[in-house]
Structure 1
């Protein structure tokens, strides 16, 4: 095989911040891009060390999807702020452009160096190219064949993962199964059909499942190799295969009349007619994933040392102190030196505690949490937006708690009394105890808009899930979040339950896996006798709560279910943050401007610069 003499930017090769890259770059690799003797591909693949580093560079293209404000190089996701679960205080994130409906193909022309959602197309294809260059040159590496076999599986998994990220946001995309030069002006670059894209991703996953990937990496002694957390495994390949098949079966991509005529310039239809058997394939893949992953004994639902404590079970799952617990299947390893770990804590922390108060859950999400007894507090809304309260649930929107509860102090608004454990583990609200005192979000309070007109809590709620109360926000110490979860056992359970319900109705296994999630959270199981439609509603609700603020789930779920025109349109709501006392504060209010969601927004447009130079590339539906 002939190797290109293309020079490698050494700065890029050494950009690894991963915990499992413990060896520092040698003087040879420390050369700057300006050095006349930059490293060639031939030199890289003649060394086992450099070859592995080249592979690891592909992992840098994984998004940090818990960086909700989309303001750093690795965020690549505006998802929570663009969905109905969060409103972001600041005006600059991509999520705000999406809220306004003002985003467009021209706006997405950001360069690969820009990172963020504006450059998603560039970033992911650049990462795919990294994988393809590796695969085309790995045979020249002097490493043992057994080692190379694992690396090949890793590269193919990463190629599949990056294709999946593009598929979920853009629909049918051009498959890149070979390396193109970075400066190539491609003249014919059509989309593959959606089913071809799915098959390609599944094939790369299956290669790792059938091949050399381990279920988890272990040391010679047989113990788990923690230094290799974040590398691709069979478990990750099983989970990705199940996830892409779930998406493929979903209404947005399966029989969507809005896309029935979406075709390439040569007339090739990019979506096939509806095929309900796709649900069965998704269910089978998810069940196989669960059986194989849990059967390995390395993975399972996380429980605290108080298994009946739903609050601790859920809260600890996301804490740095419980990093890489048994529930994590695959995550972006950010390493202990990742500077934006403290940045995220500041985004979640109140402005009166040294934070920026920027990540604000909506009233819509707060309303969705159940009561501690599993009852639904709000069963609908009147035409004026006021809630229809389920009187039998015990939920109140009047008065304040006379006494403290297990998870809240006395004096909080009764809206927050008696809610399910996941609510208290996920949402910080006015009057809640946090970092040594009660939060005060009203104007004039210690954490109100009066503290900062730029950094303030815009809904009356702050994100608590993943926040570490022990972090010294003011001095920027502690709380190193080493993992941004992409797949976990709990999400796989819900993937399976959803697909199985659509394929066979609410059979026993559907109840089994939804109830397992609820039991861990301290809630009773679902009512028996639900029909398929009611079970679908329950599963969608369970995903909204259990997977809130994770990996873009709410954004992409509402899209693939084709309900985003309802959930992401109009005003979001919160508390009355401009009130000067807690009584007036405790009233529902609209937040920001009315959101705009049109049919075209179900899929991202392709950047205009790509459309201008690529013959045969058609724009996403309704963006022309």
Structure 2
């Protein structure tokens, strides 16, 4: 049986067990398994194009009935688009590169963004289970001949874009199957959105790439098939136009059954995110990239800093902010004041139709491996992914000050002498479920009087464990119920709490949680950041920073900060607000060109080898990370360079 693999734009189709041009390909598909069979008298062009069934017909919407149907016959490309159900399945296949922002951005099997930042750490013993590739990245051991992380974003993007382009060319009205012209137009707009979204993700990590916007006839010569990288600003302008056009024709909202389908707000929010990258130091006049050119001498990056890009980004974020469909998620106390802790917890547990902050969410059920790797071993899970001391230290005190600020009240020794209550309906501070109890007497002082987002995001040794019925506390001591010597323990002594329902039980279906891809708070902080760069002193900077901090239960910043001080404050606020969320930290420290400085500070935690509290509560270095200048952009896989003479590698690789 002949097999063909498409490896990217300009790369040749590589044949194994050569198939003659008068043979064709039919594809039988069942769920994610595909069997390729050849038959006579079909032109090679039809053969190649029919191949795309292999990348387009993969179920993604587990909640959609039509994806549960399996065709029982072999199909040609024409047969697919003559059938409304098969057309939907092709569309679903284009959707299936939309990432689960919780698990896929954490795991070695996905993209590993969490592990590439300073927020999370795994034990070195987990290398036996596949985590070694991300561990190598943490050590700086990354080359163009190794694909890291597990999902090959370059290859998968082009596969889905090609599947999308085939869809655009072939989808048609089928009146007798209720596939109307209006529905066809909606499908096409969804596919355009997906292709733009996938390209924008690729742009974040690779920088410029060969922009393909139409089908390539694979019978053309290699010189025609090969394509050079498109300059960064040209790609940004193209995607900007796509997102803007689509925002005018896509609906403003959907019901929960259609979570994940693109809306006008999703278009504008992803556009704003992309323009923030374009305005930031990594891509806006970065001197390191000035000599990066195609082989014909075309510069791939802007040659000078353009401050108007910040204005463009600010206006893009404000377009989303001004949409009536969105608002910050808040829960309230009986007196009408904001319940900050419950707001910060349930923001990540509430369905999009009841959560106006969500602009775009994952179109399916999020992966239960998220719970499995984050919840404690003593309650039945693995609990092997650890939050770091680095991120623990970033959270503010209840009074809104950093832990190292004068007057913060932070104490890093001893234990609290009394229970601590906040104004909240939170019930999980102890087994008695006392409303408002946040920490109990005897809690290590490092964790007392911290801001509500700290408790919504971090679980620590000695904190009440709500994930089983034994009325116990988390025990991360060596030989403790949740600690070492097992590798199923948090190496730094902390576990992630974000997007985890406190009533979750092992062996029972996990409670619903939305996989939030983009939310309104990002637009608030991006707007403030962009304004501060081109119009420092604008009153909206303090306004939108205040709104974010108010929801978190914190006072407003001191008024009248300098541009530099406000920049630091915005960066700090983003770190806390978006902790453990969609790889935001990894993206931010790269676009700010701060990653090298960030990783000068080793990853640290508590002494998880300690068998007593006295031994345990000591700051301990876990790992010295290596972030080299070349790692701001990912390398293009060497095989792709070998197959496309027009491609040039990213600098320093």
TM range (shorter): 0.7 to 0.9
Q: Which of residues 112, 115, 124 is equivalent to 1:81?
A: 115
Tell me the residue number matched to 1:581: 612
Tell me the residue number matched to 1:209: 247
Q: Which of residues 126, 143, 146 is equivalent to 1:107?
A: 146
Distance across 1 between alignment mates of 2:358 and 2:348? 10
Assess if the C-alpha contact under 8 Å between 1:85 and 1:362 holds in 2: yes
Q: Deviations over 1:485-532 (max 9, x none)?
A: 111011111111111111201311111111111111111111101111
Bigger Rg over Cα: 2
Is residue 2:453 matched to residue 1:438?
A: no
Q: Deviations over 1:213-234 (max 9, x none)?
A: 10113xxxxxxx2211110110
With over 3 angstroms needed to count, the CA separation of the structure-2 counterparts of 1:21 and 1:442, relative to structure 1, is same
Q: How far did 1:68 drift?
A: 5.8
Assess if the C-alpha contact under 8 Å between 1:8 and 1:40 holds in 2: no
Q: Deviations over 1:409-440 (max 9, x none)?
A: 22121000100000000000111112232111
Is residue 2:513 matched to residue 1:477?
A: no
Distance across 1 between alignment mates of 2:52 and 2:293? 38
Q: How far did 1:25 drift?
A: 4.8
Counterpart of 1:434 in 2: which secondary structure?
A: coil
Tell me the residue number matched to 1:553: 584
Q: How far did 1:148 drift?
A: 2.0
Distance across 2 between alignment mates of 1:103 and 1:540? 28
Counterpart of 1:551 in 2: which secondary structure?
A: coil
Tell me the residue number matched to 2:64: 21
Is residue 2:288 matched to residue 1:267?
A: no
Q: How far did 1:49 drift?
A: 3.0
Assess if the C-alpha contact under 8 Å between 1:356 and 1:456 holds in 2: yes
Assess if the C-alpha contact under 8 Å between 1:570 and 1:596 holds in 2: no
Assess if the C-alpha contact under 8 Å between 2:61 and 2:67 holds in 1: no
Is residue 2:71 matched to residue 1:30?
A: yes
Assess if the C-alpha contact under 8 Å between 1:51 and 1:141 holds in 2: no
Is residue 2:626 matched to residue 1:596?
A: yes
Q: How many residues of Structure 1 are paired with residues of Structure 2 in the alignment?
A: 575
Q: How far did 1:95 drift?
A: 2.9
With over 3 angstroms needed to count, the CA separation of the structure-2 counterparts of 1:368 and 1:45, relative to structure 1, is same
Q: Deviations over 1:246-276 (max 9, x none)?
A: 1100000001000011100110001112111
Q: How far did 1:600 drift?
A: 0.2
Is residue 2:334 matched to residue 1:300?
A: no
Gaps of 5+ in 2: 1-42, 422-437
Assess if the C-alpha contact under 8 Å between 1:4 and 1:42 holds in 2: no
Tell me the residue number matched to 2:488: 455
Q: Deviations over 1:59-91 (max 9, x none)?
A: 110122311675476x3x211111011112333
Q: How far did 1:117 drift?
A: 3.7
Q: Which of residues 122, 127, 130 is equivalent to 2:160?
A: 127
Is residue 2:96 matched to residue 1:63?
A: no
Q: Which of residues 344, 351, 359 is equivalent to 2:385?
A: 359
Q: How far did 1:181 drift?
A: 7.1
Q: How far did 1:14 drift?
A: 5.2
Distance across 1 between alignment mates of 2:370 and 2:357? 22
Q: Which of residues 260, 265, 284 is equivalent to 1:230?
A: 260
Q: Deviations over 1:268-325 (max 9, x none)?
A: 0011121111000111111112112xx2xx3211112435211100111112677862
Distance across 2 between alignment mates of 1:411 and 1:169? 45
Distance across 2 between alignment mates of 1:377 and 1:25? 52
Distance across 1 between alignment mates of 2:477 and 2:511? 28
Assess if the C-alpha contact under 8 Å between 1:7 and 1:38 holds in 2: no
- The TM-score, its normalising length taken from structure 1, stands at 0.88
Tell me the residue number matched to 2:229: 191
Distance across 2 between alignment mates of 1:69 and 1:457? 18
Q: Deviations over 1:463-497 (max 9, x none)?
A: 01111222222x2532243x321110111111111
Distance across 1 between alignment mates of 2:356 and 2:412? 39
Q: Deviations over 1:594-619 (max 9, x none)?
A: 11111100000011111110111000
Tell me the residue number matched to 2:417: 402
Assess if the C-alpha contact under 8 Å between 2:256 and 2:352 holds in 1: no
With over 3 angstroms needed to count, the CA separation of the structure-2 counterparts of 1:71 and 1:87, relative to structure 1, is closer
Tell me the residue number matched to 1:170: 206
Gaps of 5+ in 1: 32-36, 111-115, 218-224, 379-389
With over 3 angstroms needed to count, the CA separation of the structure-2 counterparts of 1:618 and 1:502, relative to structure 1, is same
Distance across 1 between alignment mates of 2:629 and 2:235? 23
- The TM-score, its normalising length taken from structure 2, stands at 0.84
Assess if the C-alpha contact under 8 Å between 1:79 and 1:95 holds in 2: no
Tell me the residue number matched to 1:34: none
Q: Which of residues 596, 610, 628 is equivalent to 1:565?
A: 596
With over 3 angstroms needed to count, the CA separation of the structure-2 counterparts of 1:321 and 1:228, relative to structure 1, is closer
Distance across 2 between alignment mates of 1:302 and 1:178? 40
With over 3 angstroms needed to count, the CA separation of the structure-2 counterparts of 1:513 and 1:63, relative to structure 1, is same
